[in-house]
Amino acid sequence: MPTNTSVNDPCSPRPPSSLIADASNLLPIGREIDLTAKEAIPFLKNFRNGIMPVLEDFLKAGDHLAKAIFESIDHPDLPPIQELDVPEMNAR
């Protein structure tokens, strides 16, 4: 296994979270770099204050998926239905 654990090493055996931790020492999250993440329940700010969370509405997504499935069964000749959900930044 490689021993090089540099932040710039794409073959690093470390998980991405450790790379973010290393990078945040060089470039503080929220001041020097922006980091956005989707979440179902707001908790990311409890761990990293600089993260910009985007709340993902699973109920809305599931409802749309169900409608799309039934629409494709009832009308297979029509194009699939689509919906764009614009997330709210700073979910908390």
- Return the ∠ at Cα 53 (arms to 50 and 54), rounded to 5°: 155
CB 24 within 8 A of CB 30: no
Spatial distance between the Cα atoms of 69 and 61, rounded to a whole number of angstroms: 12
Q: How much is the pLDDT for 66?
A: 94
What pTM value is reported for the model?
Answer: 0.48
Spatial distance between the Cα atoms of 34 and 52, rounded to a whole number of angstroms: 7
User: pLDDT tens digits for the chain (92 residues)?
Assistant: 445 445 455 565 655 565 555 555 677 777 777 777 888 888 877 877 788 888 888 888 899 999 999 999 999 999 998 888 777 665 44
Helix (H, G, I), strand (E, B) or coil at 44: helix
